[in-house]
Structure 1
Amino acid sequence: MEKLHALNMLSGDPHRGNFIVSKDGVRIIDLSGKSCTAERKARDRLAMERHLGIANEIKDYGYYSVIYRTKLRKFIKKLKGKA
């Protein structure tokens, strides 16, 4: 994922079905094609953590932005009685 992000590309949906492992290495399929932002990179890393158990080690602006928005959405849902 680091190499993908270094090329300003995103997975957008990193789960086991989108990674093909062969003797030649790992291939990522089903790339999003969206513009590469700090938040989208963080979402990729957090999804890899959730789906693949690969810990996110980069705690940058994008990471904190995604975490903050997630917590804010949960709080608003709780206020509205939807959680």
Structure 2
Amino acid sequence: MTTLSVPVPPKLEELVNSLVKRGYGANKADVVRKALELLAEEEAIKTVREAQQEVRDGKVLKGDIRRLIKNML
């Protein structure tokens, strides 16, 4: 595992400390790791929702993927 040092404003440090005290993580690093994992999950969900909307809007390619790629080249 790599160590990353990130300066944070006092309000965020207070939030992290509060989350540790409330049991959201074993320590500050654990809380920050969990927060980053949640952010990554939110981004993945957002991407899926955008793709679903594109399907609803008809912005998808249909057919044989090999033929579509060949036609694009």
Please indicate the TM-score interval, normalised by the length of the shorter structure: 0.3 to 0.5
Q: Which has the higher contact order (CA 8 A, sep 6+)?
A: 1
TM-score w.r.t. structure 1 length?
0.31
Compare the two structures and name the one with the higher helix fraction: 2
TM-score (norm 2): 0.35
Structure number with the higher strand fraction is 1
Structure 1 or 2, whichever has the larger Rg, is 2
